[in-house]
Amino acid sequence: MTTSAAALRQRRRRDRNWHPYALIAPAAILVLVFLLYPVASVFYYALQNYNVTLPIYNGFAGLDNFRAIAEDPLFWDSLAFTGRWVLVEVGLQFVCGLVLALLINQSFAGRAVVRALVFSPWAVAGILTTTIWMLIYNPSTGAGYYLAEMGLGSYGTSPLSGTTSTFWAVVLAELWRGAPFFAILILADLQSVPNDLYEAADVDGAGRLRKFVSITWPHIRRAVVIAALLRGVWEFNNVDLLYTLTGGGPGHATTTLPLYVAQTAIHKHDFGYGSALTVVAFLILAAVTVLYLRMTRLGREDT
Amino acid sequence: MEHRSHSAQPSRSRRRPHVGRRALAAAMALAALALTACGGSTPGSAGADGEVTLQLWDTDTRPERSANLKQLIDMFEKKNPGIKVTYLGLPTDSYMQKIDTAIATKSTPDLLTPKASDLSALVAQGALAPLDDRFAKGGWAERVDRSMVDITKAAAPDGKLYMTPATSLADAVYYRKDWYDKVGLGAPASWNDFFTAAQKLTDKGSGRFGYTIRGGAGFFPQFVQMVYPQAGVASFFREDGTSTLDDPAVVEAAQKYVGLYKTATAESDLTADFKAMVAQFTAGGAGMLSHSIGSYPTITKTLQPAAVGVAAPLPAADGSTVLTGRVTTGFAMFNNSRHRDAAWKFLEFTMSQEGNSFWAKASGYIPGNLAVEKESWVQDSPVLNAAVAAGKAPNVRFLNQPYYLPEFNSITNTDMRPDWQRVLQGQLSVREFLTTWAAKLTQAQQRYQKLKK
């Protein structure tokens, strides 16, 4: 009796030890197969010469790919452009998103419609966004053509093929899509600000600016920090919009680092070098993210 | 403690291992589902009644072409009961990515429609089946245009035949006859005529440009078409493997060609690909267009055939004519197809008089079958007739692009384009551009020559 009870208890304990793993297994398997394995293979190929069209040169390369990256002017150019692109995009998206959020937080007639309109660009698929903007920028059917018809500007021009206009043309397209994201997150926090705080501030005779600095900003700060980080990472990794709108051109004028990776790996079949570039981008992003979170002290607020 | 909790809920505790097993089974099933969902179907599967099904991947999906190809398949299926061909159209600008993935995962189909320029990348990966033996045994050497067979073989790094020389492209310069008439010009007969016309037809105020230059994707074939014949240079490399890209005559011709940008073309041509160019030409935005003969059916769908002229190949200063853009397009089969005999039957059909005649006529390409070449519809098409005649004229040299070089496509397609755009923008001189890239091509060619020895 006692032995069978002990055996039973032991079996039950074994079962119970086994359960959590079984329950985690599906998620763990998926993460292993679809996340860890691909990431690990990128690190592996970064140390290889691997070009499917030049198989005779394939083999272990050590750190050759990374040495080549350090001397690759295109890498540094694309990195510099990526930095500029992220700063300008996130900065403008934050400003526009904040203004939009503050506007639609007011009560006025037709607010629901305006809110839906403000958020709609975010709901549009990326590839659709670029199609819309490509039609707008198209020299023979877009805005430029109709402006030329009205006598403004000249025929056969496109913002996407100018020397400086290209940058601002793609910035505008991405801004159109990205600003609503800030607006949504900021608006959500704005709605949680208790109205009596503003009423108390009114009693104390605070102005609009004072109310924003002392009440609104502290409430939305966290949302802004998170949104800026997310948008920063997304803009860094932005491929779809730039790839379809400009393909990184003209020249290399709009080539971000991930776009350079795409060109190297997908078009040139040089997966070794492409993987090494990806590893570098990964490390840069990880370092910047840690630095950013420390600077904004997000972690400390949580505890 | 534990014991007490057990006695409190005995039934639930007893059922637990059961739930765990079921959850695990469900998880396994889910994972298995997720994994199988990623794999493609196996190629060349045989049906229960012994019917063979071949998969064909097309690399150039356009509505008209898809319809033509499906009709070709219907014709083949009628003649070959027991073989079915399923069609899959890949996007024109990214088909290689899909094929590369299929090769890597061993899920290639049976049949493919490659261009000669794709062969070296595919052969390097060991993907295509060589056709030389079957081609010789079938007696096709006597029935197919010899020069097309040679060009197709020359496009592979090992000189073997990997694609049926079904049809061929050729470059053409189209011009708006009605615009020419208006400014009182005759058909262009020399390069001088061409450059004069480009400037004369340009009327920026009304949105009309004399020419449309290709600054975007695929700029290189057009650059070759407009520069090499002008310079009278008929090869890409000299004997010692050095590139002719920085040959003084090529540099001079290129400078003239680049001079058209913004003076006789739209500024937006900086990023124009072939779709943008053809759209500009057919919409009345450009008076002249360089492209291949394959776009004639598309162009004459929008413009009246009477309004579209096709210039005869223009001679160089020394009177010789260099012909460009003679790229064979055909059909190939994959090495790991399980039904290669059936696949070869389809490939044969694309070279046979019946299949070749239909396909070449519908696509607007030069037919590879010698009997088809003599059919009346070839003589009646101004663009094909001109191309066939030009190929047979004396004092003509063919400029073949070195598609056998594995790096050639990526150098001329991906690497050179940004610099080309900088040349058009005036940020880089033509000479510097050509010298830099000549060095890269020389390096690739000499490496290839060394390996071949």
A44-120+163-296: CATH topology is: MetI-like fold (1.10.3720)
CA distance B42 to B39: 9
Q: A33: exposed, middle or buried (C-beta count within 10 Å: 0-12, 13-18, 19+)? A: middle
The answer on B230 and B147 residing in a single domain is no
The answer on B434 and B294 residing in a single domain is yes
Report if residue B98 sits inside a domain.
yes
Residue B273, helix vs strand vs coil? coil
The answer on B432 and B292 residing in a single domain is yes
Contacts of A82 (CB under 8 A, 6+ apart): A236, A256, A257, A258
Name the β-bridge partners of B411.
none
Q: What is the ipTM of this complex?
A: 0.76
Highest mean pLDDT, choosing among A85-89, A188-192, A197-201, A243-247: A85-89
Report if residue B47 sits inside a domain.
no
- The CATH number covering residue B79 comes to 3.40.190.10
Report if residue B36 sits inside a domain.
no
Q: Do strands A59-60 and A48-49 pair parallel, antiparallel, or not at all (unpaired)?
A: antiparallel
Report field, pTM of the whole predicted structure over 0.90: no
User: By mean pLDDT, which of A7-11, A93-97, A200-204, A277-281 is the weakest?
Assistant: A7-11
The answer on B412 and B279 residing in a single domain is yes
Distance from CA of B17 to the nearest CA of A (A): 6
What integer pLDDT is reported at residue B32 of this predicted model? Answer: 47
CB B232 within 8 A of CB B316: yes
Provide mean pLDDT across the span A147-167: 84
**Angle at the Cα of B392 (from B386 to B395), degrees rounded to 5?**
105
The answer on B176 and B164 residing in a single domain is no
Q: A66: exposed, middle or buried (C-beta count within 10 Å: 0-12, 13-18, 19+)? A: middle
What integer pLDDT is reported at residue A90 of this predicted model? Answer: 95
Answer whether A267 sits within 8 Å of B413, measured CB to CB.
Answer: yes
| B124, B410, B424 member nearest A55 (Cβ) | B124
What integer pLDDT is reported at residue A5 of this predicted model? Answer: 77
Chain B CB contacts of A163 under 8 Å are 425
Amino acid identity, residue B442?
A: T
Provide mean pLDDT across the span A84-100: 94
CB A279 within 8 A of CB A257: no
- The yes-or-no verdict on residue A56 having pLDDT over 70 is yes
Residue B178 structural domain: 171-324+405-452
Domains in chain B: how many in total?
2
Distance from CA of B99 to the nearest CA of A (A): 11
* Closest chain A residue to the Cα of B120, Cα to Cα: A53
Distance from CA of B163 to the nearest CA of A (A): 18
Chain B CB contacts of A140 under 8 Å are 279-280, 283, 285
pLDDT in single tens digits along all 453 residues of chain B: 334 434 344 444 444 444 445 554 554 444 444 444 443 444 444 555 578 999 999 998 888 899 999 999 999 999 999 999 999 999 887 898 899 889 989 999 999 999 888 898 899 889 999 999 999 999 999 999 998 999 899 999 899 999 999 999 999 999 999 999 999 999 999 999 999 999 999 998 888 999 999 999 889 999 999 999 999 999 999 999 999 999 999 999 999 999 999 999 999 999 998 888 998 999 999 999 999 998 888 898 899 989 999 998 999 988 889 999 888 999 999 999 999 999 999 999 999 999 999 999 999 899 999 999 889 998 888 888 888 888 888 888 999 889 999 889 889 988 899 999 999 999 999 999 999 999 999 999 999 998 877
Report if residue B14 sits inside a domain.
no
How many contacts, defined by CB atoms under 8 Å, are there between A and B?
Answer: 131
Amino acid identity, residue A22?
A: A
Distance from CA of A36 to the nearest CA of B (A): 15
DSSP state of B424: H
The answer on B211 and B179 residing in a single domain is yes
Amino acid identity, residue B143?
A: R
- The yes-or-no verdict on residue A131 having pLDDT over 50 is yes
Answer whether A15 sits within 8 Å of B17, measured CB to CB.
Answer: yes
Report if residue B25 sits inside a domain.
no
The 10s digit of each residue's pLDDT in A27-37 is 999 999 999 99
Report if residue B80 sits inside a domain.
yes
Domains of chain A, by residue range, sit at 44-120+163-296
CA distance A276 to B231: 42
CB B438 within 8 A of CB B240: no
Report if residue B26 sits inside a domain.
no
Percent of chain A clearing pLDDT 70 (strictly above):
97
Report if residue B112 sits inside a domain.
yes
Interface subset of A 109-168, CB within 8 angstroms of B: 139-140, 144-145, 148, 154-158, 160-163
